[in-house]
C-alpha cells in the first residue's frame, strides 16, 4: 500500500525585510547574510499572526470536501507553542469548521517534528486506509534583535495531507534515525526567544547527517546515484549547502553536479522566508517541486530532518505520477513575490510588539490581510478570528 503526501501548501505573513538592508543596519557586510548564511529575505511576522493563524491559513489550502470528509487525525508540529497545555490543533477545529470527530495532538522535538508527524500519519493510515491525516509544521523563529541568530529568523506554516495512493510523494519504509541528549538550542519556560550555540548546532547537524545517511545506506544498500534530489532541514540555506557538500564530497562529479543543481531549486523559498523550524524541510520540498525542471514521476527524493536537542532522520519518498499538477502555477512562489517590503525600523517595531504572556490585550488586525488573525488575549484566553477576505 502506497502512503504519503497527497497535498502540500505553505502560508507566511505578507511582509519581509531585505537581508542586505538588515546587514547594513547591523554593520555587517551584506555578503555575510546573502552568501555566508544564504538568506536574501526574511519573513516578518506581525503580532496578529501566530502558529495557530499561520497553520489555519496553510491548512485551508489543502482541505477540500474529500479531505474534510475523511479527516481522522491532525498532528501539529511546533516549537513555538502558544500554550503549555492545550494543543495548537484544537483551535483549528473551530477556525476551519472541521468535523470534531478527529484525534489531535501537538508534537515537540525542536525542528524535527514535522517528520515525526508524517511518520505517525503513515502509521495511522496503514491502520485506517480510509482516512486522511493533516500534518502541520508551524513556527515563528525568534532569536532576538541584533544577536548572531537574528539573520536566521523567519516564520510560517506548511500543511500536508497524508493518505493512500498519494498524488505527490509516497513515503518509503526506510528511515534511519538518531537521537542524543545535546544542548545546541533550547528555549526555557518563560523565554520568548531561543538560546542557541550556533556553531555547535552546525557541527551536530552535520554529524547527525553523516550518522543517519551511513545508517540509511547500511539498511537499504542505496548510493547517492539512487536519488534525483536531496532535501535538507534549512534553518539557513548555507547549512543545507554544507550538508550537501559533505555528502557529495567523494561522489561521482556528475551525480554531485546534478544534486547541487536540484539543491538550488530546493533552497530558493527558504532563502526568501528564513527559518520556520519544523516546516523548513517541507518548504524546501515545495521549493524543489515548483522550481526544478528535471524531476520525473518515479524519482526518489532523500530528506534529511534535524531538530536540535537533538534528533536526526534520513528517509526517502518516490514522486508520484501527476505530482507536477499541483505546482505548475507556482502558488508559493507567487505568494512570496507579492509580499511587501518593510524597513529595518518597521521590522524591529513589529518584533517588539509580539505578544507573550499578558492576561489581557487587544490587537488591531485591520492592516493584516490574512483570513485568520490573532486579535488579543482576554482573561488569559487567546482570541482568534476567521474573516472572509
Active site residues: 79, 111, 233
Q: How far apart are CA 98 and CA 61, in angstroms?
A: 14
- Kindly give, in sequence order, each residue whose CB lies less than 8 Å from that of residue 282, ignoring residues fewer than 6 positions away: 8, 114, 137, 158, 160
Using CB under 6 A as the binding criterion, the count of chain residues that bind ligand COA stands at 21
The closest of 351, 339, 270 to 15, measured between CA atoms, is 339
Query: Please, which of residues 103-122 interact with ligand COA by CB under 6 A?
Result: none
From the list 64, 123, 129, 148, which residue makes contact with ligand COA (rule: CB under 6 A)? Answer: 148
Of 78, 119, 124, 308, the one binding ligand COA (CB under 6 A) is 308
In angstroms, give the least distance from the CB of 163 to ligand COA. 30
Q: Minimum Å distance from CB 185 to ligand COA? A: 5
Residues 20-39 that bind ligand COA (CB under 6 A): 29, 31-32, 35-37
Least distance from ligand COA to the Cβ atom of residue 41, Å:
16
Query: Whose Cβ is closer to ligand COA: residue 183's or residue 355's?
Result: 183
The answer, yes or no, to whether the previous bond of 310 is cis (omega within 30 of 0) is yes
The correct pick among 27, 199, 218, 254 for binding ligand COA (CB under 6 A) is 199
Which of residues 82, 108, 198, 211 is near ligand COA by CB under 6 A? 198
Assess contact for 292 and 276: CB atoms under 8 A.
Answer: no
Answer left, alpha or beta for residue 153, where phi above 0 means left and psi between -120 and 50 means alpha.
beta
* Residue whose C-alpha is closest to residue 98's, from 139, 132, 140: 132
Close Cβ partners of 233 (under 8 Å, ≥ 6 residues apart): 111, 112, 205, 239, 240, 280, 281, 304, 305, 306, 307
Q: How far is the CB of 205 from ligand COA (least distance, A)?
A: 5
110/365 with CB nearer ligand COA: 110
Which CB sits closer to ligand COA, 29 or 66?
29
- Under 8 Å between Cβ of 80 and 277: yes
Instruction: Indicate which single residue of 4, 149, 156, 376 sits in contact with ligand COA (rule: CB under 6 A).
Output: 149
Who contacts 48 (Cβ-Cβ below 8 Å, separation ≥6)?
363, 364, 365, 368, 370, 373, 374, 375
What is the pattern of x (binds ligand COA, CB under 6 A) and - over residues 224-263? -----------xx---------------------------
* Nearer to ligand COA among residue 91 and residue 151 (C-beta): 151
Nearer to ligand COA, 27 or 199 (CB): 199
Residue 35 Cβ vs ligand COA, minimum distance, rounded to whole Å: 4
Contact between 305 and 284 (Cβ < 8 Å): no
Q: 3-state class of 341 per DSSP?
A: strand
What's the min distance (Å) between Cβ of 18 and ligand COA? Answer: 17
185 near ligand COA, rule: CB under 6 A: yes
User: Which residue lies nearer to ligand COA by CB, 263 or 374?
Assistant: 263
312-338 burial, b at 16+ Cβ within 10 Å, e below that, comes to bbbbbbbbbeebeebbeeeebbebbee
Binding site for ligand COA (CB under 6 A): 29, 31-32, 35-37, 148-149, 151-152, 185, 196, 198-199, 201, 205, 235-236, 275, 306, 308
Amino acid at each position: 500500500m502506497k502512503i504519503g503526501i497527497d497535498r502540500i501548501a505553505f502560508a507566511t505573513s505578507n511582509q519581509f525585510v531585505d537581508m542586505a538592508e538588515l546587514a547594513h543596519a547591523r554593520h555587517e557586510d551584506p555578503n555575510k547574510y546573502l552568501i555566508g548564511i544564504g538568506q536574501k529575505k526574511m519573513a516578518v511576522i506581525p503580532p496578529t499572526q501566530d502558529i495557530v493563524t499561520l497553520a489555519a491559513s496553510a491548512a485551508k489550502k489543502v482541505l477540500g470536501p474529500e479531505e474534510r470528509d475523511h479527516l481522522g487525525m491532525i498532528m501539529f508540529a511546533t516549537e513555538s507553542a502558544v500554550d503549555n497545555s492545550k494543543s495548537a490543533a484544537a483551535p483549528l477545529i473551530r477556525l476551519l469548521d472541521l468535523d470534531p470527530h478527529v484525534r489531535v495532538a501537538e508534537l515537540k522535538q525542536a525542528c524535527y517534528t514535522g517528520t515525526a508527524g508524517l511518520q505517525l500519519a503513515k502509521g495511522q493510515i496503514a491502520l485506517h486506509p480510509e482516512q486522511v491525516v493533516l500534518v502541520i509544521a508551524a513556527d515563528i523563529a525568534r532569536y532576538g534583535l541584533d544577536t548572531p541568530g537574528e539573520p536566521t529568523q523567519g516564520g510560517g506554516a506548511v500543511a500536508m495531507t497524508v493518505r493512500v495512493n498519494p498524488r505527490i510523494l509516497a513515503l518509503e519504509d526506510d528511515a534511519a534515525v538518531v537521537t542524543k541528549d545535546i544542548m545546541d538550542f533550547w528555549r526555557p519556560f518563560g523565554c520568548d526567544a531561543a538560546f542557541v550555540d550556533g556553531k555547535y548546532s552546525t557541527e551536530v547537524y552535520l554529524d547527525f547527517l553523516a550518522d543517519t545517511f551511513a545508517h540509511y545506506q547500511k539498511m537499504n544498500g542505496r548510493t547517492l546515484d539512487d536519488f534525483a534530489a536531496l532535501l535538507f532541514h534549512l534553518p539557513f540555506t548555507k547549512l543545507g549547502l554544507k550538508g550537501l557538500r559533505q555528502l557529495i564530497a567523494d561522489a561521482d562529479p556528475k551525480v554531485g553536479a546534478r544534486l547541487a543543481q536540484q539543491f538550488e531549486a530546493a533552497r530558493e523559498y527558504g532563502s526568501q522566508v528564513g527559518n520556520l523550524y519544523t516546516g523548513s524541510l517541507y518548504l524546501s520540498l515545495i521549493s524543489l517541486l515548483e522550481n526544478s525542471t528535471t524531476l520525473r514521476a518515479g524519482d526518489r527524493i532523500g530528506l534529511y530532518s534535524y531538530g536540535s536537542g537533538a534528533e536526526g532522520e534520513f528517509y526517502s519518498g518516490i514522486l508520484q505520477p501527476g505530482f507536477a499538477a499541483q505546482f505548475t502555477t507556482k502558488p508559493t512562489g507567487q505568494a512570496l513575490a507579492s509580499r511587501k517590503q518593510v524597513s529595518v525600523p518597521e521590522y524591529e517595531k513589529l518584533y517588539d510588539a509580539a505578544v507573550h504572556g499578558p492576561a489581557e490585550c487587544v490587537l488591531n488586525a485591520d492592516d493584516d490581510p490574512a483570513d485568520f488573525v490573532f486579535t488579543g488575549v482576554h482573561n488569559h484566553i487567546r482570541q482568534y478570528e476567521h474573516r472572509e477576505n
